[in-house]
A = this chain, B = another copy of it.
Amino acid sequence: MPTAFRLRAPVVLPCDPGCPALRDAVLDVDETGRITHVGPAADAPDAGDAPVRDCTGILLPGLVNAHAHSPMTVLRGMGGDLPLLRWLHEVIWPAEARLTPADIGAGMLLGSVEMLRAGVTTSTEMYFHGEELAGAVLASGARLVATMGIIDAPGWDWRKMLAGVDAWIDADGLRSGPGERIEVGYGPHAAYTLPPEALTMVGAAARSRGALVHIHVAESAGEDTTQRGRYGSVPAMLDRLGLLGGRVLAAHAVHLSDADIELFATHGVAVAHCPGSNAKLASGIARVLDLRAAGVPVGLGTDGPASNDDLDLWEDMRLAALFARLSTMDSAALGAADALLMATRGGAEALGRDDIGVLEPGRWADIVHVDVDDPAFVGGLDVPDEQLVANLVWAAGSRRVRDVWVAGEQVVAAGEPTRVDRAEVQRAAGAVTRRLLT
């Protein structure tokens, strides 16, 4: 297929292991929105009549948010800094009960715009009302893994919720939409909010369809204790119930024993590490280095914007590195390149996907262009790779994201969304927030 367009940039970070930089490189995209070539400009293939866009900064893969509840943008900051249980019972759950499907769409669209502006092209959402989630993400032009919430709680019927996911996948396939922007999966909330039978059924339904199961696991110490008496641990419980195996993504996974980590490694369970949320809610620090040493794929998640309080995955990169250092008292425990790889390639691996998270031929052209006109890049681009990546991750971050493409389509230009009017998106979500405050 011919090249649709070419990007040329002084630095490309494909996010290969080790995070080496390509200098003065080009990246070709075909008409389907997939990458066809990445390499030095000096020996680039003929691009024919394809337009060439000269970028002045750094190209890297779109970031992958491995765990989010983005419609909760409309609840951002509510309840201030109440203790966790009071915050949930007195503020968040009553507010969520008042959200209409349209409200959820408005919150998701704001979250999607916020993420795109930070260079997050894929988000893994666990929430309700899939039609609104997909509609919002398709409107912004982002990419969505919609793991639909399944929970046993007053007003909710987990069997219907499970059947709804089955039906969606059976009707549209696992992936659909332009550039395969929408993937559907299962989002059983947690072992403590579903009966054992439900977890078994979700596992079977997902495996038979090759779909992702995305579940909260061992987020807080209290949760772990509750389950330990019955099953030994939450991972052991999920294993006994047949949920592990296939594509399983455990969100948080803070309180894991050595045996739990071994179980994850054996079954190929991945982890969405959410350091910002885990610290803000005082849940603890996940054993990221131990998980990685055991071969468990680890991606990074923001969690919901009511508890983090934003969707800036760059901050979670830094927190992942800082927490790994504090946990081990080793200042080299987790570097800037490790953190960047966790937010890109690592996220794709955690989702079991080989079509995003890396700039290489065959993958979707989900690309971020970072502008380097900033004190963060004090030495400019002509510095060693490790210094450049340190400047990018530690000092620049989301602030310098300038342009973003998803499946080859530019969805952010000069910091603003191309598909939607940001003021209008903010206004619509703000109306929901203000209504909830009355």
Chain A interface residues (CB < 8 Å from chain B): 73-74, 76-84, 87, 110-111, 113-114, 221, 276, 279-282, 284-285, 305, 308-310, 315, 318-319, 321-323, 325-326, 328-337, 373-376, 378-380, 382-384, 386-391, 394-395, 398-399, 423, 426, 429-430, 433-434, 437
Residues of B contacting A380 with CB < 8 Å?
430, 434
Pair A76/B434 contact, Cβ less than 8 Å: no
Question: Known interface pairs A80-B336, A81-B336, A282-B329. Does A73 touch B375 (Cβ–Cβ under 8 Å)?
Answer: yes
Pair B433/A389 contact, Cβ less than 8 Å: no
Question: Known interface pairs A310-B395, A326-B279, A394-B310. Does A332 touch B81 (Cβ–Cβ under 8 Å)?
Answer: yes
Best-buried of A82, A373, A378, A389 by chain B (most CB within 10 Å): A378
8 contacts between A and B (CB under 8 A): A76-B376, A76-B378, A79-B387, A81-B390, A110-B375, A110-B378, A309-B391, A315-B318
Pair A382/B434 contact, Cβ less than 8 Å: yes
Alpha-carbon distance between A433 and B374 when the two chains are bound, in angstroms: 14
Pair B387/A80 contact, Cβ less than 8 Å: yes
Q: In angstroms, how far is the closest chain B Cβ from the Cβ of A385?
A: 8
* Copies of this chain present: 2
Alpha-carbon distance between A280 and B325 when the two chains are bound, in angstroms: 7
Residues of B contacting A430 with CB < 8 Å?
378-380
Alpha-carbon distance between A364 and B319 when the two chains are bound, in angstroms: 35
Alpha-carbon distance between A433 and B377 when the two chains are bound, in angstroms: 10
Question: Known interface pairs A77-B391, A382-B434. Does A375 touch B114 (Cβ–Cβ under 8 Å)?
Answer: yes
Pair B282/A81 contact, Cβ less than 8 Å: no
Pair A433/B378 contact, Cβ less than 8 Å: yes
Task: Tell me the nearest residue of chain B to A390, going by C-beta.
Answer: B77
B77, B305, B331, B437: the one within 8 Å of A84 (CB): B331
Question: Known interface pairs A282-B326, A310-B376, A325-B279. Does A335 touch B77 (Cβ–Cβ under 8 Å)?
Answer: no
Residues of B contacting A308 with CB < 8 Å?
394
Q: A110-B375, A282-B328, A282-B329 are in contact. List 11 more A-B contacts (CB 8 A).
A: A74-B378, A76-B395, A77-B379, A80-B386, A276-B322, A279-B322, A281-B325, A373-B426, A378-B430, A383-B434, A384-B437
Alpha-carbon distance between A80 and B332 when the two chains are bound, in angstroms: 9
Residues of B contacting A309 with CB < 8 Å?
390-391, 394-395
Pair B336/A433 contact, Cβ less than 8 Å: no
Residues of B contacting A437 with CB < 8 Å?
379, 383-384
Pair A325/B282 contact, Cβ less than 8 Å: yes
Residues of B contacting A332 with CB < 8 Å?
81-83
Q: In angstroms, how far is the closest chain B Cβ from the Cβ of A285?
A: 7
Residues of B contacting A114 with CB < 8 Å?
375
Alpha-carbon distance between A325 and B430 when the two chains are bound, in angstroms: 29
Residues of B contacting A87 with CB < 8 Å?
331
Q: In angstroms, how far is the closest chain B Cβ from the Cβ of A38?
A: 24
Residues of B contacting A284 with CB < 8 Å?
326, 329
